[in-house]
Chain A
């Protein structure tokens, strides 16, 4: 499995009435072929902006100002619009949270499906149509031949999301970015969609960036997880390590504050006090400082960096509490280097 995507310390800014606002700062993660990474965090933590930054789909007032996005060795952060057009829908495709609003209401399903197929795969009109029907069948849409002539409003939310998935996977992309694909759906439908995604992932070996706020979905789907808070990745590791051994105070707080049906009956939830800081008013040091039970004086002043720690798996954390582990890891690396050299 080769490395497919490497996002390195990207920073995304928006020009607003009140001057530039940094929405995403120093976000880094990487992804191998066929691998699934979950970006998890609360609303406003920058997970959607990160994905839109990769695709160059930010609004006109937003842009990636620092860092690099290496996709198959090519830096997307510096790619032109023409380059991106060739990549979008073809190498990287995307599905969105609201299946209701993500499909064009005045074009038929077929229209919307085939236009990407014809563009990227150079199929003729009839070929594209046939292929589109196959794709619809593949995502479990009954009566695909009929549905293809329908307008989106005739479909239920779950069906629309299936259409979105068919559309996204039709050109066999290497990477699929799914931005909260099930948030707007009912649980029984969510289960259907998650199952479908799992099945298709196995069939196509597509890498997935799955954006969600639901730790349950993370546990079901992810290989790797990046926990985001206030525009930064605060913890990144594989899914088992994260659930078995979460380290960052925010990750810990998050896990303890979610009521779940598997929780014991009389367990009282821990809640994280306060709320996410505003972009206009970011703390100078650690962004979790106000809400952290372990906050130290140092956290107020100094910015912690996302650093790997000594652990079973590769596990990076942005917190001073684990400075020692981080140091250990660095020492070990150095030592290894010395040994190897």
Chain B
């Protein structure tokens, strides 16, 4: 198993290189230049040239890439073109909020979706099945920003139950309660989508498993429906569910751009948009790289979880 993980990481490396290359060149396609953005417009061309030189922007693209890559190996993601802060520092301060937001949303979403999905599969075509299916379609279809605006209108603006945005009360006591309070609305929005999607997979995967021969065997043994569903069927339907979780995990980094914007959540999504508007290439590159790494890690994690859930899969 360890060997397998090692091998997977080895395979991921060329992919990661591809990702950085693509990433770098895409971003360098951009017209406009960070130097134009950061320097006083009255600056002379010489000053601009000096500035570009200082940032290495006068080098050919491939040499810039190599430079960036070398720095990367030294754990240095460069400096923000706009504020000169080290990018690592900027990322560090924005990862937490996003991971918190998406993590809670995923957990809440799953906690809602998995039991509901099982119930739906067990009681196929019952009123609860229709209700939950309706909910799941709503969840996957409603745009986050529209739902976000809706809940802000109802819960923040009309009922004044929750704050409209940000993660903490600034200068507040920084208590958990305060954070939870700020989490409720964005999590409700995100979890609706996550649960909507997950319910469908749990339901269909469960339905699929419920039709399998070995469940008939279990039933033929005289086992109760509860044990059949929760011991025999659930473990088997975990495998497709793991796939969906594996696809969901990268959302921890890049999944909440719109929601963060609507709720002004101080995370990576907001950072992305602000970096785009300020053409902060080094930060954008770092975010993209981080997101790609997350995808690769999630893939690996999924594979490992597969092996845990399904004894038939053994990586050797």
Contacts and interface: CB of A to CB of B under 8 A. Distances in A.
A–B contact at 8 Å CB threshold (below): yes
Contacts of A167: 217, 221
Interface in A76-120: 84-90, 93-94, 96, 98, 101-107, 112, 115-116, 119-120
B235 interface: yes
Contacts of A334: none
A151 B313 CA distance: 11
B214 A104 contact: yes
Interface stretch (B249-257, B294-302, B304-312): B304-312
Contacts of B212: 101
Contacts of B211: 59
A151 B224 contact: no
Contacts of A193: none
Contact of B221 (A59, A88, A101, A106): A88
Contacts of A115: 221, 223, 227
Contact of A101 (B213, B224, B227): B213
Nearest to A58: B216
Interface in B203-234: 211-224, 227, 231-232
Give the interface size bracket for B toward A.
20 to 34
A106 B215 CA distance: 12
B213 A106 contact: no
Given A101-B213, A102-B213, A153-B311, A107 B232 contact: yes
A106 B222 contact: no
Interface string B278-291: 00000000000000
A49 B231 CA distance: 27
Interface size class on chain A is: 20 to 34
A207 interface: no
Contacts of A164: 217
Given A57-B216, A85-B222, A93-B220, A104 B232 contact: yes
A84 B222 CA distance: 7
Interface string A37-65: 00000000000000000010101100000
A88 B220 contact: yes
B222 A86 contact: yes
26 contacts: A57-B219, A84-B222, A85-B223, A87-B222, A88-B219, A88-B221, A88-B222, A89-B223, A94-B217, A94-B220, A96-B216, A101-B213, A101-B214, A102-B214, A103-B217, A104-B214, A104-B218, A104-B235, A105-B214, A106-B236, A106-B309, A106-B311, A107-B231, A119-B221, A151-B311, A151-B312
